[in-house]
Amino acid sequence: MAQIDIRNVQKFFGHLQVLKDLNLTIEDGEFVVMLGQSGGGKTTALRAIAGLETVTSGQILINGTEVQDRKAADRDIAFVFQSFSLYPHMTVRENIAFPLRAVRMNAADRDKAVNEVAETLQIAEHLNRKPSALSGGDMQRVAIGRALVRRPQALLMDEPLGVLDAKLREQMRAEIKRLHIARGSTSVYVTHDQIEAMSLADRIVILHDGVLQQVGAPDEVYLHPTNLFVAKFVGSPVMNVSDVRITDDTVALDGAQSGFRFPAEALANVRNAGVPLALGIRPEAVLLAHDQTDGFIEAVTTNIEPLGSHDIVDVRVGNTSLRARTASGFVSGEGQRVWVNLAPAQAHFFDTATGLNLRGAH
Ligand SMILES: Nc1ncnc2c1ncn2[C@@H]1O[C@H](COP(=O)(O)OP(=O)(O)OP(=O)(O)O)[C@@H](O)[C@H]1O
């Protein structure tokens, strides 16, 4: 198993800079998920760790040894791609055994290793089949089995569940987590699916335009996003973000008759910032009441999404639309008068020019 250290890594494709001074330490046994929009540089970073891509400058260390100039085969890292990339003419057993043949392991040890990994991945009954006879989920289990069979120092996965349907993705996600807990291998996983990232990661690494935006545990990036990009990228439905004015202890939305009163400590770093501000508040921190309530502001419902376990209700306050998460059926229809308030402890204030969260880690 391995600690992976990425130091000051820059990567250019021609004039296009895809990784901008990337620094990251992945601890031994950790499950790190790289999350971001398409084109953010996630795959390039993963391929650079594996040695499938060279870096323009900077160092990559595995257990303290520089490997950036070593070939992929000399890094003892396994890679699982989105497309299963199995050999169609070989059986499942031969596919999984392939990396062991390459290192000339004897047949008895090879069989033992293949059986063990097939058992763990629950594909033992498919060992004599060809890949074409398997479901998508089982094909990806075989691809993961082939990656794990030689007990690599680290397992890298590039959107491994990308082509599976939603239900199978959810099931495989749980299996990948179980496998990681059982094996404890250092894992780096690339996805643009934030639910996958939240559910799998010890730490999430958010990349945008080749720049690392935030590294943190799932609840940390959810509760304390360092900037607007992270705030809007993590969480579903997305965080409400709208321009606000702050006067004394009052936070006023655009066009609203009155503002929300906040305790002084919630506005400590914000009130005198002297920059245009955006309020960020997640739907679960937008509170609705049927009747006039102290501290609440009058609003009108404009849309309701019933989602079974809860509803997402859009309300209009002044010129601003806010999405609130409510109990199912809390609001019966559009055009209804309600009262709205915000949970100050869960409110974020961003500098609209830089995108930085001015409350920092609160
Ligand atoms: N071999 C290459 N040659 C030129 N440009 C490349 C190459 N590989 C990637 N790029 C460019 O680098 C940028 C980052 O790509 P990368 O695949 O790392 O992003 P990503 O975040 O993984 O996105 P995706 O989820 O779409 O794979 C993109 O603009 C892409 O077009």
Whether ligand 1 lies within 6 angstroms of the CB of 210 is answered as no
List residues bridging with 325 in a β-sheet. Answer: 312
The residue contributing the CA closest to ligand 1 atom 25 is 38
For the complex shown, is ipTM > 0.85? yes
Whether ligand 1 lies within 6 angstroms of the CB of 44 is answered as yes
Whether ligand 1 lies within 6 angstroms of the CB of 99 is answered as no
Q: Which pLDDT value is given to residue 120?
A: 82
Looking at 3.20.20.10, 2.40.50.140, 2.160.20.10, 3.40.1710.10, the CATH number of the domain 240-351 comes to 2.40.50.140
Distance CA 197, CA 180 (A): 14
The residue contributing the CA closest to ligand 1 atom 31 is 39
Distance CA 133, CA 129 (A): 7
For ligand 1, pick from 13, 19, 56 the residue to mutate: most ligand atoms within 8 Å of CB: 13
Find the 249 Cα to ligand 1 centroid distance in Å.
46
268-310 pLDDT per residue, tens:
888 888 889 999 999 999 999 999 999 999 999 999 999 999 9
Find the 34 Cα to ligand 1 centroid distance in Å.
14
List residues bridging with 33 in a β-sheet. Answer: 189, 204
Find the 38 Cα to ligand 1 centroid distance in Å.
8
Topology of the domain covering 4-224:
Rossmann fold (3.40.50)
Find the 39 Cα to ligand 1 centroid distance in Å.
5
| Ligand 1 nearest-atom number relative to CA 44 | 18
Structure tokens of 287? 């509170």
Q: Which pLDDT value is given to residue 254?
A: 87
Contact 23, 212 (CB under 8 A): yes
Do the first three CATH levels of 4-224 and 240-351 match, i.e. the same topology? no
- The band of 83, judged by pLDDT with boundaries at 50, 70 and 90, is confident
**Average pLDDT across the chain, whole number:** 93
Note the pTM of the prediction, 2 decimals.
0.90
- Counted residue by residue, the chain has a size of 362
Contact 260, 347 (CB under 8 A): no
The residue contributing the CA closest to ligand 1 atom 13 is 39
Q: Determine the average pLDDT of the residues in 58-86.
A: 91
Distance CA 232, CA 234 (A): 6
Q: Which pLDDT value is given to residue 184?
A: 87
Find the 161 Cα to ligand 1 centroid distance in Å.
19
Give me the residue spans of the domains in the chain: 4-224, 240-351
Q: Determine the average pLDDT of the residues in 119-134.
A: 91
User: CA dist 305 to 119, 316, 325, 328, 343, Å?
Assistant: 43, 15, 10, 9, 22
The residue contributing the CA closest to ligand 1 atom 5 is 13
Q: Residue 362: is its pLDDT beyond 60?
A: no
Whether ligand 1 lies within 6 angstroms of the CB of 247 is answered as no
| Ligand 1 nearest-atom number relative to CA 41 | 18
